[in-house]
């Protein structure tokens, strides 16, 4: 059975390589209003609309906080190292949980086999 699967695999590879056609993308469109080979007509639009004006910015809007306020101990964001450390602790905790559940299940299976 394995040799037939291997033979089928090589036949698929041979037909894929032998039957493939190399295609090269070229830009052969002379004018924009001529239709392409599939019937798509590209129309160039010369009219450009200016962007909408931005609303004026108020100077009396308070900022989110100064650096002294952000650096307070209660408002500090965790650093990248702290985030990675917490991720490692979560992964270690989950792996320990998986080991405990696996040992408990294996113990139950071994006890059930001993009773038979």
Contact 103, 95 (CB under 8 A): no
Q: How far apart are the first and last CA of the chain?
A: 38
> What pairs with residue 35 in β-bridges?
41
pLDDT over threshold 70, residue 41? no
pLDDT over threshold 70, residue 107? yes
Report the C-alpha gap between 45 and 33 in whole angstroms. 11
- 106 lies in some domain: yes
pLDDT over threshold 70, residue 34? no
Report the C-alpha gap between 13 and 19 in whole angstroms. 10
- Tell me the per-residue pLDDT of 70-82, one tens digit each, with 9 for 90 and over: 556 556 677 899 8
Domain count of the chain? 1
What predicted TM-score, i.e. pTM, was given to this entire model?
A: 0.34
- 4 lies in some domain: no
Provide the token pair at 112: 């059930």
- 104 lies in some domain: yes
Average pLDDT, the chain: 75
- 21 lies in some domain: no
Report the C-alpha gap between 77 and 9 in whole angstroms. 55
């Amino acid at each position: 059975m394995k040799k037939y699967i291997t033979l089928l695999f090589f036949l698929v590879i041979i037909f894929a390589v032998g039957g493939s056609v190399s295609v090269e993308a070229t830009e052969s469109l002379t004018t924009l209003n001529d239709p392409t080979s599939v019937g798509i007509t590209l129309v160039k639009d010369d009219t450009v609309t200016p962007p909408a004006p931005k609303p004026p910015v108020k100077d009396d809007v308070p900022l989110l906080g100064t650096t002294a306020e952000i650096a307070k101990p209660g408002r500090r964001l965790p650093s990248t190292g702290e985030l990675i450390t917490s991720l490692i602790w979560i992964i270690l905790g989950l792996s320990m949980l998986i080991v405990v559940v696996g040992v408990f299940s294996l113990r139950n299976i071994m006890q059930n086999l001993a009773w038979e």
